[in-house]
Amino acid sequence: MHRDGHSYGQFPTAVRFSLRNQSRNRLAAILLVVFVPAWYLLMKAMVPGSALSFRLFANAAMVRVDGRDLSYITAGLNALSLIVGFAVFAAVRRTLAFDRRLVSAGYRQATLIGAKSLAIAIIATAVSLYASIVLLVYWRPTAGAWAAILVGFAVIALTYGAFGLLLGVLVRDDLEGFFLIIMVGLFDTFLQNPIGNPVANRPMLRYFPSFGPTQFAVGAAFGNVALWRYLLLGLLWAATLAALGLCIFIARTRVRGFRPVHPEASIRQSGRG
């Protein structure tokens, strides 16, 4: 069997395996089902609905926003950063050694890379849709604002999915990866909310991953503007982190040769295990 001979058949199998592996993360599923609505409920109980100023960096305008509604957006961004980051990190760590065996058995690295990237995109989209639907229980923005929030949620989920991928192939211990996801995710999204943050609305926020999605979602929800440039900034973060992670993945799964066996059978056997 040649490496290129079954590439089209390898890809669907690799995608199914990646999705199944990530869906088996029970902790991430519990966080999604329980933590997201509980986090919104906590914002409703703790944050007053008073007006505050939020800076749109696209035009340097200060818009008046409802503090509680703004907290719903940043809470959703925070929840997605943790959940998707956890899920991808755990899945990549768990299968890295097996991915190397697949490459040695004849799977192309490009196939595995494409499968993992597509799986992350599917997971990020599904989780973002769920968080956006749950949001409607607590807040009813306009249809356009809700769609923009959904897109912002999807971009932050992609970003932290890529961050989880990078940590999964980079760090040597699970605790290190979980600690970095928690600290970076909390610190990143917390700074975007002017409530309780003295440095909010400062230019330094531009250098954080959640800056672009937050600006896009808040601009559409409260300023009636579509800040596409900032959404692209968020996608640039996702693409950069994913590229770094995939480069390390290639290095860690590279083998000098491969055995002409049937890797589809190997991957199915791993799935049963």
Sorted by sequence, the CB contacts under 8 Å of residue 257 that are 6+ apart come out as 104
Round to whole Å and give the CA distance between 49 and 43.
10
Residues 6 or more apart whose Cβ sits within 8 Å of residue 264:
6, 9, 10, 13
The sign of the torsion formed by the CA atoms of 44, 180, 20, 116 equals: positive
pLDDT at 129: 96
| Residue with tokens 């926020």, as numbered in its chain | 205
Q: Where are the beta strands (DSSP E) in the chain?
A: 51-56, 61-66
Contact 25, 90 (CB under 8 A): yes
| Cα–Cα distance for residue pair 243/187, rounded to 1 Å | 23
23 DSSP β-pair partners: none
H or E element that contains 263: helix 263-272
Region of residue 262 (left: phi > 0; alpha: psi -120 to 50; beta: else): beta
| Tens of pLDDT, residue by residue, the chain (273 residues) | 344 445 566 888 888 888 887 777 777 788 888 889 999 999 999 988 888 888 888 777 788 888 899 999 999 999 999 999 999 998 898 888 888 888 887 788 888 888 889 999 999 999 999 999 999 999 999 999 999 999 999 999 999 999 999 999 999 888 899 999 999 998 898 888 887 676 667 778 888 999 999 999 999 998 888 889 999 999 999 999 999 999 999 998 887 654 444 445 445 544 454
Specify the residue for token string 């929800």.
Answer: 221
Distance of CA 232 to the CA centre of its chain: 15
Residue 120 in 3-state DSSP?
A: helix
Question: Which residues have C-beta within 8 Å of that of residue 60, sequence separation ≥ 6?
Answer: none
CA dihedral 167, 168, 170, 171 (to 10 degrees): 80
Under 8 Å between Cβ of 210 and 192: yes
Tens digits of per-residue pLDDT, 70-95? Answer: 999 999 999 999 999 999 998 898 88
Spatial contact of 66 and 51, defined as CB atoms under 8 Å apart: yes
Name residue 80's amino acid.
L
251: tokens are: 């290095």
Entry field: residues in the chain: 273
- pTM, two decimals, is 0.86
> Are 258 and 3 spatial neighbours (Cβ–Cβ below 8 Å)?
yes
